[in-house]
Amino acid sequence: MGEYADEIIEGRRGQSQSFDESITPCDTGIEDTYAIPKSKTLILGASNGRRLGDFSPDVINASVSGASFENIDELLNHALSVMDDTDASVEKVVICLGTNDITRNRSDPDEVNVNATSAVNCVKSRFPNAKIGLCTIIPRKGKGQSILKLNETTQSVNNFLAKLSKKDSSVSLIDTFNIFCQNGNAVRPLYDINDPSGVHISDKGVDKYIVELSSFFGNTHVVEAIVHTPALRKRNLKFKYYPFIY
């Protein structure tokens, strides 16, 4: 797995590790070019969430490699610990988790559904006035029965996430699955060619993901900051990852 050893954890390890709140996973050193607003959007994700980088001062990317729906409380605590403006309110929260949950529960979508529901409820409890963006889980790139089973479970969970968002006016579905899947197959250019797991997205995948998030953010400079500065995004990918270990 080479340089992806830390990213491709996917529930393969049996040892537990406590969450280190001193870590800032998306500290790229990019200078803020906009005035820091009084409201923030949080991104709570895993390794693909990390790849979105720090692209706007009003978006706190608290993604950590290896995270799952079950880690939502830790991710929330971590997000608050790295906020640079303690007076700012949290207006929106994006949840882009589920890949690691699918790996550990590939034959039990109901377990993932329960954990996803708990994650949404946790965010609502912490930020009752925030709008929640719930991302669908992207498919795996590859072939074979194992990949087919994972993607079958992914689609089942995504159907549940769609129903969950329809029942709750505070939750909006962000359909990233259909960006990364066309005609039943993963869109290969949107995935990292050097990643053997078929999980992690490429620079093109990052751009597509950001554009999809932009409508939920309601902020056009978010897209401009990431799409028009690819060199900064690539630099972000070289930073060390700090995964959850199971």
Residue at 159 is within a domain: yes
Q: What total of structural domains would you count in the chain?
A: 1
In a domain, 241, yes or no: no
- 0.85 cut: is pTM over it? no
CA distance 94 to 72: 11
The residue to which tokens 């040892």 are assigned? 15
CATH of the domain at 19: 3.40.50.1110
- pLDDT > 50? residue 245: no
pLDDT in tens, 24-71: 334 333 344 344 446 789 999 999 999 999 877 888 999 999 999 999
Q: Helix, strand, coil % (nearest 5) of the chain?
A: 45, 15, 45
Range of the domain at 166: 2-236
Using CA atoms, how far apart are residues 18 and 48, in angstroms rounded to an integer? 21
Asked whether residue 87 is assigned to any structural domain, the reply reads yes
Give the model confidence (pLDDT) of 190-222 as tens digits: 999 999 889 999 999 999 999 999 889 886 445
Residue 244 within a domain: no
Does residue 162 lie in a domain region?
A: yes
Largest CA distance in the chain: 50
